[in-house]
Each structure stands twice: as C-alpha cells, then as structure tokens.
C-alpha cells in the first residue's frame, strides 16, 4: 500500500466560499497524476495519492461582519460598496489578533485548522503523513503562526491527537502573495521563521522539505522573505500572477491560484515527496 500526502490549502482576506480552492485543487491533481503515472503506471488512481483539504476560516467572521455592516445602513455614506469590501478585508486582519475575550478569533481560526488537520490525518492513515501547506495572503500569516506556535511549544498542553496535528510532519510550505514581512514587525526578532521541514519529519526523510514564497512585484501585499529569513529557510520565487487585466497591477494579488509558475513547482515538490516516502 502506498503512502499518501496530506495537503492543506488556506485562503486569505475577504469573503470566501467553501470551494475557494476548487480550481487549484483540480490543477494540482491533474498535473500530479500525469507526473506520477510516468513514474509508476501500476497506480490505478494517481490523483488519490494527494488528500487535499481546503480550510475556509472566513465563515468565522461572516456573522460578526454582517452585524457590523448592518449598523451603518441608516447612515448616508459614500462609496458604499467599497466600504463594505473594506469591512470584509480589513476587519479580518484587525480581528485576527490574540485576545482573552470571548470572541478570540485567533483561537477560533486555529481551532478550525486543527479540525481540518485531524480530517487529513484520518483520511491519510496513521496520522503521520507528510503535510504540505499552501496558503495565500493573510492565510500565509495564519499558517505560519499555527505551526510556529506548535514548534515553540505554546500549545503543548492541548490534546492534539497525532504527529500531523502537532505539526511534526510539516514538509512543504508554499506562501502566495504573503504579507508575512509586514506582520513580522510586531515581533522582537525578524529572523525567527517557522521551521520547514519540521524536525521530526526531517529525521525520517532527510532529503525532503522546502518553503517557497511566491510573489508578484506588482502585488503590493506580497513581499520577498529571503531578506528577512535568508535563503536557507525560504526560497523566494517571483512570478507574474494574473491575466491580461490583472497581471500588471495590484490586482495580481488574486492571480496566484492557477498560475502555471505556481502550480508547477508545487507539483514537482509533491511528486518528489511521494517518491521519497514510497521509495
């Protein structure tokens, strides 16, 4: 029996639907299957070797943001549509802070990630499958925080059930349009990133593990990470995300999901990982 790879996809700011990653998931499976069948034609369903789980955390903010926006409806404000968009964009980033209040959106979001990682662990087998995390925009900050907290022992008293949920199998990390560089200003040290691969998985598979940061120079939310963390921790990849209308301006921020120069490196690393864990 072959060993599978767990893949978590985490979105960024703004309104999102549960199927936000559908196109990327289709592209990943299609190209992964094509590459894998060349390696081993005996695999009847090569796409099934990837277990992909999109993590839609936006639903946590949906009701509070709806209530907030409703409080302004009786006011005579200009740029109504733009204001509503700003609530769904900036409120996410502002509310995503550690808090001791009942709302504590930070904890709610990471509880959601725990839930989905448990599903990945269950669906891939024994809970020790290599984990690939693909994230976008604010989702890159959320993903980084999630595994950094685990690696720093900040959640050691929580009942996490298996190595995958504990972050011990984090093997691949892909960040797209990431503002992590901006977020890092709130920390004492700029040069303390999440460790990829995690120590436990590196002991099992010394040749595996990579963090690639995709950014478009027209994307004003995205910044390189090598200047902060060095090329040993993360590899920056400049891409031209988006199409004819969005590829030359800040709207490129939404264009990473199916860009060929993003999909191909991700698939290559997934294939290399699969080969290594299946000898």
- More confident call, 252 vs 59: 252
pLDDT of 239 higher than 70: yes
Does domain 5-57+110-277 match CATH 3.40.50.1820?
Answer: yes
Query: Residues for the chain: how many in total?
Result: 279
pLDDT tens readout for residues 171-218: 999 999 999 998 887 766 656 899 999 999 999 999 999 999 999 999
Which pLDDT score, from 0 to 100, does residue 73 have? Answer: 76
pLDDT at residue number 131:
98
Share of the chain above pLDDT 90, in %: 64
- The pLDDT, as a whole number, for residue 184 is 80
pLDDT for residue 185: 77
pLDDT reading at 276 higher than 60: yes
Q: Which residues contact 229 (CB under 8 A, 6 or more apart)?
A: 191, 193
pLDDT at residue 79 in the model: 75
Domain ranges of the chain: 5-57+110-277
Residue 102 clears pLDDT 60, i.e. is over it: no
CA dihedral 29, 35, 36, 37 (to 10 degrees): 110
Q: What pLDDT is recorded for position 18?
A: 87
218 vs 99, more confident: 218
DSSP H helical ranges for the chain: 22-39, 59-70, 80-95, 105-124, 138-151, 180-183, 199-204, 226-229, 260-277
C-alpha–C-alpha distance, residues 4 and 17, integer Å = 27
Which stretch of 32-36, 66-70, 195-199, 240-244 has the lowest confidence by average pLDDT? 66-70
Contacts of 215 (CB under 8 A, 6+ apart): 176, 177, 178, 222, 223, 224, 236, 237, 238, 239
Read off the pLDDT band of 156 (50, 70, 90).
confident
Q: How far apart are CA 49 and CA 273, in angstroms?
A: 11
Tell me the two tokens of residue 91.
């409120």
pLDDT higher than threshold 90 for residue 158: no
pLDDT at 84: 76
Tell me what pLDDT residue 267 has.
98
Question: In this structure, are residues 50 and 30 in contact, taking their beta carbons and an 8 Å threshold?
Answer: no
Q: What is the pLDDT of residue 195?
A: 96
Mean pLDDT estimate for the chain: 90
DSSP 221-266: T---SHHHH-TTT-EEEE---S-TTTTTSGGGGG--TT-HHHHHHH
């Amino acid at each position: 029996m072959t060993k599978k790879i767990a893949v978590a996809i985490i979105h960024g700011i703004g309104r999102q639907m549960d199927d936000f990653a559908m196109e990327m998931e289709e592209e990943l499976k299609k190209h992964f299957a094509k590459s894998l069948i060349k390696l081993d034609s005996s695999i009847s369903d090569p796409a099934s070797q990837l277990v992909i789980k999109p993590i839609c955390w936006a639903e946590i903010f949906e009701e509070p943001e709806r209530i907030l926006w409703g409080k302004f409806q009786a006011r005579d404000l200009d740029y109504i549509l733009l204001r509503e968009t700003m609530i769904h964009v900036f409120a996410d980033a502002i509310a995503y802070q550690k808090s001791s209040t009942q709302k504590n959106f930070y904890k709610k979001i990471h509880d959601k990630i725990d839930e989905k990682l448990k599903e990945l662990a269950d669906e891939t087998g024994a809970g020790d499958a290599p984990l690939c995390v693909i994230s976008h925009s604010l989702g890159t900050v959320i993903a980084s925080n999630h595994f950094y907290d685990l690696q720093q022992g900040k959640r050691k008293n929580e009942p996490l059930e298996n190595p995958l949920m504990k972050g011990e199998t984090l093997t691949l990390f892909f960040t797209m349009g990431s503002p992590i560089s901006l977020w890092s200003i709130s920390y004492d040290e700029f040069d303390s990133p999440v460790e990829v691969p995690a120590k436990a998985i590196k002991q099992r598979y010394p040749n595996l593990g990579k963090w690639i940061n995709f950014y478009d120079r027209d994307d004003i939310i995205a910044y390189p990470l090598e200047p902060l963390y060095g090329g040993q921790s993360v590899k920056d990849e400049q891409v031209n995300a988006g199409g004819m209308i969005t590829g030359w301006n800040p709207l490129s921020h939404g264009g990473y999901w199916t860009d060929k120069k993003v999909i191909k490196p991700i698939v290559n690393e997934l294939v290399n990982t699969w080969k290594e864990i299946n000898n």
